[in-house]
Each structure stands twice: as C-alpha cells, then as structure tokens.
C-alpha cells in the first residue's frame, strides 16, 4: 500500500508509504490518500494526521511516472483526483493535521498547506519546484498560497521554486508549529490529543465557518456564524463544555 491508515482513540493516522521514493506522488498514492480521507470522514474521528514514512513527508510529483501516453480524459481524472485531496480535507468535519519532516516539495507542500494545521520539524524543507520541471501547481494552491503570503510573494515562490525552511514557513503563516525533529512524533501526538479533547461538534462547525468565511463575503460569514451559534447554544455538548470550563476557573 502506498498509504497506510489506522485509527486509535478517535485519532486517524494516515501515513504516506513510498519511502524508497521519498513518498513522491503518483496516481496510486493520490487515489489511496483520497480513499483514506474518505474512510476518515465516514469514521468521524476527533482529528486526522497525515505524515510520511522514511526520510521525507513528500518530495513532490514522482518524475519517473510518465503520463505522456495516457489519454487526455484519463489524465484529467488523475489531476482532478489530486484536487480531491484538498476538497476532502476541507469537507472533513474535523481538523486535519499535517506532520511534516524532511522534504515537503511540490505536491507534498500542497498537501501540507491545504491541511487545517501544520506541525513541522525544524529540518523540514518546503517549496514549489513545479515550474522548474515544466509542471504546474495543483490542489488549490493558486488560491491558498496568495491568501496566505500575498500575491507577490506567491508568484516569487512559484516562479523561482526557491526552497524555504520550517522557521521561514512559520513566519509567513504557512506553518503553525515548529519543533525539534527528534520530538516531532511526540509533539504531534500531544497536539492531536489536545484536539481530541475539545468539543467535537463545535470544532467541526468552527472549521466550516472559517472555510466559508475565507471563501465568501462578510454577510455570508455573519449568516453561517448565526446558524452555528444557535445550533451550539442548544447542544448538550456546549453545556457540558461550559460546566467543565467553569470548574477550572
């Protein structure tokens, strides 16, 4: 399997498993990653984590895979399946965390940046080398990246394909947490356990509202926030969480 899937204690762990290719993507890995995300949505965990086995998170598109002889319609379906990763992560009613070490280039960088949260080892290396090898960005990065760093910086990163480290990525708002590489697994577990202890329904609504607000108008944001406020105020989850909060004061 190019992607491993496991679920324990309401946490789904999805691991890219092509270590001999630095987890570079091909149609099989992309499809298996989508299937893993689809399975997670059915399972409804508190949180899902995407990581990579071996020396890298994901080194990008596998350049040894040749699509030149693939019919256009099939090739288009493969590209759309790549976009499905972003669609599924955004659709998931729970946070999806990318735990990044080593290379996160091209498709690997795209997978990380379309996640809800990114925790990176201090040795992680990010970048968009697609243009330099005659390819194009995917996964909605043409929208996600400019929103995060501004259009001018996004063009610089994509046009020149320059690599940047975890600390720089964090300073640009692309990464949430940077930790020593030796403690990435431990810190990822700590983060996911913290998330899994939060009120799940409210967390899912918060994710949905932020995504809608990101994509839409202020009036749309007001409307979704109103609906969510009315829904959560009458929920037992809110009453239980409020009681716990007041007990801690």
Q: Which residue has the higher pLDDT, 76 or 90?
A: 90
Alpha-carbon distance of 199 to 151, in angstroms, equals 36
DSSP 8-state assignment for residue 118: E
CA angle (16 as vertex; 13, 21 as ends), nearest 5: 165
Q: Are strands 117-121 and 96-100 parallel, antiparallel or unpaired?
A: parallel
Alpha-carbon distance of 194 to 134, in angstroms, equals 42
Alpha-carbon distance of 83 to 87, in angstroms, equals 6
> Residue 163: left if φ>0, alpha if ψ -120 to 50, beta else—which one?
beta
Q: Is the pLDDT of residue 219 over 90?
A: no
Question: What pLDDT, on a 0 to 100 scale, did the predictor assign at position 109?
Answer: 98
Across the chain, the runs of DSSP E, i.e. the strands, are 3-8, 11-16, 47-52, 96-100, 103-105, 117-121, 125-127, 164-165, 177-179
Question: What pLDDT, on a 0 to 100 scale, did the predictor assign at position 81?
Answer: 93
Specify whether the CB–CB gap between 146 and 154 falls below 8 A. yes
Token pair for 68? 């030149």
Specify whether the CB–CB gap between 114 and 140 falls below 8 A. yes
Q: For the residues 60-77, what does the mean pLDDT come to?
A: 80
Alpha-carbon distance of 15 to 36, in angstroms, equals 9
Cα–Cα nearest to 17, from 65, 60, 54, 59: 54
Question: What pLDDT, on a 0 to 100 scale, did the predictor assign at position 238?
Answer: 65
Question: What pLDDT, on a 0 to 100 scale, did the predictor assign at position 236?
Answer: 75
Cα–Cα nearest to 163, from 109, 99, 100, 122: 109
Q: Which residues of 167-178 are buried (b: 16+ CB within 10 A; e: fewer)?
A: eebbebebbbbb
Q: Is the pLDDT of residue 65 over 80?
A: no
Question: What pLDDT, on a 0 to 100 scale, did the predictor assign at position 249?
Answer: 62
pLDDT single digits (tens) 108-138: 999 999 999 999 999 999 999 999 989 899 9
Q: Scanning the structure block, which residue is given the tokens 């256009």?
A: 72
Confidence band of 241 (pLDDT split at 50, 70, 90): low
CA distances from 40 to 12, 82, 88, 108, 190 (A): 7, 17, 10, 20, 20
Confidence band of 100 (pLDDT split at 50, 70, 90): very high
Question: What pLDDT, on a 0 to 100 scale, did the predictor assign at position 108?
Answer: 97
């Amino acid at each position: 399997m190019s992607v491993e899937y496991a679920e324990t204690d309401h946490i789904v762990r999805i691991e890219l498993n092509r270590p001999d290719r630095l987890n570079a993507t091909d149609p099989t890995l992309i499809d298996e990653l989508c299937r893993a995300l689809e399975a997670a949505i059915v399972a409804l965990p508190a949180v899902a984590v995407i990581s990579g086995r071996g020396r890298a998170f994901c080194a990008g598109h596998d350049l040894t895979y040749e699509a030149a002889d693939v019919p256009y319609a099939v090739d288009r379906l493969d590209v759309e399946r790549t976009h499905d990763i972003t669609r599924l992560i955004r659709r998931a009613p729970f946070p999806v965390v990318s735990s990044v070490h080593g290379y996160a280039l091209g498709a690997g960088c795209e997978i990380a940046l379309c996640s809800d949260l990114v925790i990176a080892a201090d040795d992680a290396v990010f970048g968009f080398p697609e243009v330099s090898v005659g390819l194009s960005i995917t996964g909605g990065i043409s929208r996600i990246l400019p929103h995060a760093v501004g259009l001018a910086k996004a063009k610089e990163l994509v046009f020149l394909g320059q690599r940047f480290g975890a600390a720089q990525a964090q300073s640009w708002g692309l990464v949430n947490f940077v930790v020593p590489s030796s403690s990435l697994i431990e810190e990822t577990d700590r983060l996911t356990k913290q998330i899994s202890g939060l009120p799940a329904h409210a967390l899912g609504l918060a994710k949905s509202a932020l995504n809608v607000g990101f994509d839409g108008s202020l009036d749309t944001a007001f409307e979704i926030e109103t609906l969510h406020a009315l829904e959560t105020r009458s929920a037992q989850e809110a009453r239980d969480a409020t009681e716990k909060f007041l007990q801690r004061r």
